[in-house]
Structures are given as C-alpha cells and as structure tokens.
C-alpha cells in the first residue's frame, strides 16, 4: 500500500507526537468508537506503562520478544513498542478497519519502522498465528471477553497477556446481568468495586485459559480513568493450572449494612448467607480471582527500568501509580473507604494519616491503595476499623 494514500497536507489530519513516534490521525470531534480511526491521548499513560511492563518482561525472560497489538487503531501502540523497547523482534499491528490499516501503514512509513500489518478479525488473527507471539495486547472497545478464548488458544508458554477492559459498569456491579453474561460472574456495587472488577476479569481469564492447561500470574493491574488494565504472565501445565485455580479462585461476600466483608477460597464452597456481625443478607461477588493482583518484584523492576526511559511524558503519574501498586502487592484483599465508614458511623471523617498511624500502632497492616485516595488496605476486621476510625476523629 502506498503512503500517498494519506495526504498529510490535508487539514482533516492531525499530527501527534507521543513517546518517540509521530503519527497522523484523521481529526474527529469526540473520542469514541465512532471516530474514523481511533486515537485517545488520555491513554498515553496506559501506553507508557505498557512500554515499561513489556521491557521488564523482556528482561525477565531474557530473549527477543515478538509482540502482537491485536487492536491497532492508529498504530501508535505497536509503533511505540517497536521503537521504544529493547530486544524486540517482530511487532504485529492488526485492525479490522481498512481505514485504520491505511493509517498504520502510513505511520509506520513516516517513522521508518518495519512492522507486520494485518487486517483481520481479532479472533481469526489469534487463531491463525497460534504460538507466534511472546506478548499479546488486547485493547478493544468495551469488553475483552469475546477474545479471551482465542488468547488462551494462541498464547505460548512463558508469554505475557496485556488486557484492557473499558466496560467498568459491568465489572464494578452497576449492571449485574451484563457481568454474568460477559464474565460468567456476579458483581455488586461497593467502595472497592474497581478492585472486584479487576478480580472478576482476572478470574474469567484464569478459567478460560485453564481449558488450554494454561495458568496465570498477575504482574501488575490498575484501574485508571475509565478502564482497567492487567499484565498477566501465562504459563503451561495441567497440574500447575489445577493448583493455581484451587489456590486463587473464590468469592467475596459483603454486608451493605455494616460493611463486613470476607473472601472465600474455592469455586464451589461454603459461603455464609448472613453477615456474622449484623445478620444482614450478604451480597456475593464471584467467581473471581482472590490471589495476588500485583507482583512486588516485577513492579520494583518496572520502577527501576523507568530510569532508562527518560522520554516518557507521564513519568510523574507512572511513579505515583507504581509506588502504590508496589505497596499493594503484599496487602490484604479489598479496602475500606474512610468516608464510607464515617457515613456508616454517622461521624465526620478524620485525617487519613491518623487512621493509618493508629491502625499500625495497634499492630495492623495499613496501606494506601491506588484504587482510592481515601482507601485503606488493612488486615483489621470491620469492627476494629470502626473503633480505630472513631478514635482517630
Ligand atoms: C480501543 S481501539 C485500539 C486503540 C489502540 N490499541 C491504541 O492504543 O491506540 C480499538 C480498535 O479495535 C478495532 N476493532 C474493533 N473490533 C475489532 C475486531 N473484532 N477485530 C480487530 N479489530 C477490531 C477498531 O477498529 C479500533 O481501531
């Protein structure tokens, strides 16, 4: 295809500089799936973090990596992967839209980057290229659920799956039925519903990949703006897959009256029907991933690798986010929101730092979370949390 297909002098084309690449996209009014070719400047942080995650993964497995950006859009992500990550082999950019393909081609030529370009439906591409990619990036509109089975089929041993979901209303419990249909899991609304959303998506990935005897290890996950993003190492082996599901799948029960919550391990397991504190009927989320959703060593290495990627525009936001995720790596499941606790207690809110200090003085873990600026992850149960919040006012 000829680069001249796209006329850069056209006033309807915008030139964008991001990372170390310059791309062209057709001008559009609103970022939405209706844009002629999709580009969202707000996702620069997401792409910057991806650069660090993929570089860290490459160093960890210590071989050249072949990457597939299955939903290429303008090509910005694939081109940045090719240009900004060391020891990269082949990078593939795919998109179903013929116009997107024209722009990906033109943008690759402008940046003098040699990438593979395909115009295929995502599932077909993944199935036709089984075992070829070390990294598969799934960044669709809305839910990634339609593509996870093909990912399970396609991914090879020792590979990395990067997956974005923007259908947060389903994952976070605003709409119950869509979550059941797309993720085969129940959700409920709570102050920690974004964490539950990540756990529901991770659980769905784990169960879907299990049929291919593949198991997951989450290296990093975050909920930012309108999306959730997970970086998941995938490995093979039936015994290890059985063990992983056994240890990491479960449910979380929540009392909307007194804010008690409890996780339960196992797919088919005993779960209290009523709150053991106030006897209210419990809301249940799951099946979901109750295992780790952050990996301390991986995130620490990402922070280290940030020193070598000085060009990342969102460096400050990356540091802030990664430091919180690093702390969360060893934190208990779910978190408490100080304002929600205070509303429940009908008292005014104390300073977050006072509550953190007082929890620690009593010997409890007390950690901030990236999910919520007034959230606390702690091993103190709800009754102790309430006592400590009251005494911190
Ligand atoms: C959210 S955008 C991708 C953004 C891109 N990854 C980035 O970082 O800028 C989703 C893209 O997926 C493409 N798409 C939608 N459905 C698809 C499918 N079933 N198979 C392949 N591509 C698809 C759309 O044309 C659109 O360009």
Residues with CB under 6 A from ligand 1: 38-39, 43, 47, 69, 71, 73-74, 76-77, 95-97, 100, 121-122, 139-141
**Which of 328, 356, 380 is a domain's end point?**
328
pLDDT, tens digit, for every residue of 312-331? 999 999 999 999 999 999 99
In the prediction, which pLDDT does 387 show?
98
Query: How far from 290 is each of 27, 161, 183, 185, 294, CA to CA, in Å?
Result: 43, 19, 15, 13, 12
**Which of 328, 344, 359 is a domain's end point?**
328
Answer yes or no: do 183 and 210 share one domain: yes
In the prediction, which pLDDT does 11 show?
62
CATH number at residue 81: 3.40.50.150
Answer yes or no: do 241 and 360 share one domain: no
- Closest residue (by CA) to atom 8 of ligand 1? 77
pLDDT, tens digit, for every residue of 349-360? 999 999 999 999
Answer yes or no: do 211 and 351 share one domain: no
Residue 6 has pLDDT above 80, yes or no: no
Concatenating the DSSP letter of every residue in 170-189 gives HHTTSSHHHHHHHHS-B---
Answer yes or no: do 175 and 244 share one domain: yes
CB 161 within 8 A of CB 154: no
- d(CA 378, CA 374) in angstroms, rounded, equals 13
Neighbours of 365 (CB within 10 A): 14
In the prediction, which pLDDT does 393 show?
84
- d(CA 104, CA 95) in angstroms, rounded, equals 9
In the prediction, which pLDDT does 131 show?
98
pLDDT, tens digit, for every residue of 78-122? 999 999 999 999 999 999 999 999 999 999 999 999 999 999 999
- d(CA 319, CA 9) in angstroms, rounded, equals 38
Percent pLDDT > 70 in the chain is: 97
What mean pLDDT is reported for the chain? 95
Ligand 1: residue of 96, 99, 107, 124 to mutate (most ligand atoms within 8 A of CB) is: 96
- d(CA 78, CA 55) in angstroms, rounded, equals 14
pLDDT, tens digit, for every residue of 149-197? 999 999 999 999 999 999 999 999 999 999 999 999 999 999 999 999 9
Answer yes or no: do 108 and 245 share one domain: yes
Answer yes or no: do 229 and 374 share one domain: no
Answer yes or no: do 69 and 33 share one domain: yes
Q: What is the mean pLDDT of residues 290-296?
A: 98
- d(CA 162, CA 69) in angstroms, rounded, equals 9
DSSP structural state of residue 281: B
pLDDT, tens digit, for every residue of 234-254? 999 999 999 999 999 999 999
Ligand 1: residue of 47, 67, 73 to mutate (most ligand atoms within 8 A of CB) is: 73
Residue 298 has pLDDT above 50, yes or no: yes
Listed residue (180, 190, 177) closest to 252, CA to CA: 190
Total residue count of the chain as it appears in this document: 393
């Amino acid at each position: 295809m000829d680069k001249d297909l796209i006329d850069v002098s056209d006033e309807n084309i915008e030139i964008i500089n991001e990372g170390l690449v310059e791309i062209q996209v057709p001008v559009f009014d609103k970022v939405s799936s209706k844009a002629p070719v999709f580009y969202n400047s707000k996702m620069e942080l997401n792409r910057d973090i991806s650069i660090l995650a993929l570089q860290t993964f490459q160093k960890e497995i210590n071989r050249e990596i072949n990457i597939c950006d299955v939903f290429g859009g303008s090509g910005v992500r694939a081109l940045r992967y090719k240009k900004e990550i060391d020891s990269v082999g082949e990078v593939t950019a795919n998109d179903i839209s013929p116009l997107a393909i024209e722009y990906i081609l033109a943008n690759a030529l402008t940046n003098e980057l040699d990438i593979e370009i395909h115009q295929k439906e995502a599932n077909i591409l993944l199935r036709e290229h089984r075992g070829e990619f070390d990294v598969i990036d799934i960044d669709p509109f809305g839910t990634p659920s339609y593509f996870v089975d093909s990912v399970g089929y396609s991914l090879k041993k020792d590979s990395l799956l990067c997956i974005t979901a923007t259908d947060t209303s389903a994952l976070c419990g605003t709409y119950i039925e869509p979550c059941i249909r797309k993720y085969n899991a129940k959700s409920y609304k709570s102050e920690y519903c974004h964490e539950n959303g990540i756990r529901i998506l991770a659980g769905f990935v784990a169960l879907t990949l299990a049929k291919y005897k593949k198991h997951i290890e989450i290296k990093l996950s975050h909920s930012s703006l309108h999306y959730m993003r997970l970086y998941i190492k995938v490995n093979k082996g039936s015994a290890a897959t059985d063990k992983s599901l056994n240890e990491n799948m479960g449910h979380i029960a929540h009392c909307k009256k007194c804010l008690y919550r409890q996780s339960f391990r196992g797919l088919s397991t005993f779960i209290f029907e009523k709150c053991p504190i106030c006897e209210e009927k419990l809301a249940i989320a799951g099946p979901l991933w109750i295992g780790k959703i952050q990996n301390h060593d991986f995130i620490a290495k990402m922070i280290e690798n940030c020193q070598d990627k000085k060009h990342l525009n969102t460096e400050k936001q990356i540091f802030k986010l990664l430091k919180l995720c690093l702390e969360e790596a060893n934190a208990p499941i779910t978190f408490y929101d100080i304002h929600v606790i205070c509303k429940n207690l009908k008292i005014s809110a104390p300073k977050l730092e006072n509550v953190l200090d007082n929890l620690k003085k009593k010997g409890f873990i007390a950690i901030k979370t990236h999910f919520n600026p007034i959230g606390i992850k702690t091993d103190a149960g709800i009754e102790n949390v309430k006592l400590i919040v009251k005494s911190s006012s």
